[in-house]
Amino acid sequence: MATVLTDDDIAMAREANFVVALTGAGVSAESGIPTFRDRETGLWAKYDPVQLATPEAFERDPELVTRWYDSRRILCAAAKPNAAHLALARWERELEKRGHILLLVTQNIDRLHHAAGSRNVIELHGTLWVWRCATCGEEREERGGAFESFPPRCACGGMRRPGVVWFGESLSVDAIRRIEKALKACDLFLSIGTSGVVYPAAGFLRTAKDECARAIEINREPTPLSRHADRSWIGNAGEILTELVERAFPATVG
């Protein structure tokens, strides 16, 4: 199988002691979850996700927005972690064994990284599995049960919304602080399966580079970040990450 990885790339991955991996929808694509910019099929094809993922859309049409998120919640409930999620979880364990760190910063809201075993995860854009009352703020984990109404209602009568960060909404100050600290300290930054257009996440690669980290992009196609990366590996995240981790940390027999 043709590989995009050189022996130097493998050595760079093996020698990195503090890795920050930013992931986007492309990492969950191989689990059957449509990415943000892939044209959706069926019922949701006529809607633009960027337009629906906003507080204004929720104000304007809470039923439509909560039905859209519920359809994604049902899809995610059936999804399993894929090779990309599993390789990142293994890399985290390999580094932990050596007293080193892999911090996983995900833009995804499906918690497939957690399902794959990753533990050091920051959910930059929140998660689909927690829904919050827009009136009293009460949060509840909503794993699989069907909602009785759209929007679902809180006991206080308020409308409940997915616990995600919409466009125009601020991110958790604590998350940003932890990430900024990690970008200063890391020696390897990877941008994986993201089109690199949504901020502040799209700015992390350049920040890491400014702080002298090596920066790698893994994506199915070039993005606006590609020219800033030291290496831009074009291909499927599952295949590339599996090969990278297996060659950097060959399974010891016995």
What residues are labeled active site? 125
Give the three-state DSSP class for 44.
Answer: helix
87-97: b (≥16 Cβ within 10 Å) or e: bbbbbbebbee
Nearest to 215 by CA among 21, 85, 83: 21
Residue of closest CB approach to ligand BV8: 26
Q: Which of residues 31-90 bind ligand BV8 (CB under 6 A)?
A: 35-37, 50, 53
Q: Which of residues 204-223 bind ligand BV8 (CB under 6 A)?
A: 219-221, 223
- Residue from 7, 170, 174, 253 that binds ligand BV8 (CB under 6 A)? 170
Q: How near is the Cβ of 44 to ligand BV8 at its closest, in Å?
A: 12
Q: Which of residues 122-141 bind ligand BV8 (CB under 6 A)?
A: 125
25 binds ligand BV8 (CB under 6 A): yes
Which residue lies nearer to ligand BV8 by CB, 102 or 219?
Answer: 219
Q: How near is the Cβ of 152 to Zn ion at its closest, in Å?
A: 11
Q: How many residues bind Zn ion (CB under 5 A)?
A: 7
- 152 binds, options ligand BV8, Zn ion, none, Cβ within 5 to 8 A by partner type: none
Q: How near is the Cβ of 22 to ligand BV8 at its closest, in Å?
A: 9
Which residue lies nearer to ligand BV8 by CB, 146 or 173?
Answer: 173
In sign, the C-alpha dihedral spanning 210, 216, 219, 222 is positive
Beta carbons of 192 and 186 less than 8 angstroms apart: no
Residues contacting 76, CB < 8 A, separation 6+? 33, 109, 110, 111, 112, 128
Beta carbons of 185 and 157 less than 8 angstroms apart: no
Beta bridge partners of 153: 159
The Cα 248–Cα 236 span in angstroms is 18
Q: How near is the Cβ of 91 to ligand BV8 at its closest, in Å?
A: 16
- Residue from 51, 156, 177, 224 that binds Zn ion (CB under 5 A)? 156
191 binds ligand BV8 (CB under 6 A): no
Beta carbons of 168 and 54 less than 8 angstroms apart: yes
- 252 binds, options ligand BV8, Zn ion, none, Cβ within 5 to 8 A by partner type: none
As to burial, measured by CB atoms within 10 angstroms (0-12 exposed, 13-18 middle, 19+ buried), residue 177 is exposed
Which residue lies nearer to ligand BV8 by CB, 102 or 232?
Answer: 232
On the question of a cis peptide bond just before residue 62, with omega within 30 degrees of 0, the verdict is: no
Beta bridge partners of 121: 104
* Residue ranges that bind ligand BV8, judged by CB under 6 A: 24-26, 29-30, 35-37, 50, 53, 107-109, 125, 164-171, 193-195, 197-200, 219-221, 223, 236-237
* Residue ranges that bind Zn ion, judged by CB under 5 A: 133, 135-136, 138, 154, 156, 158
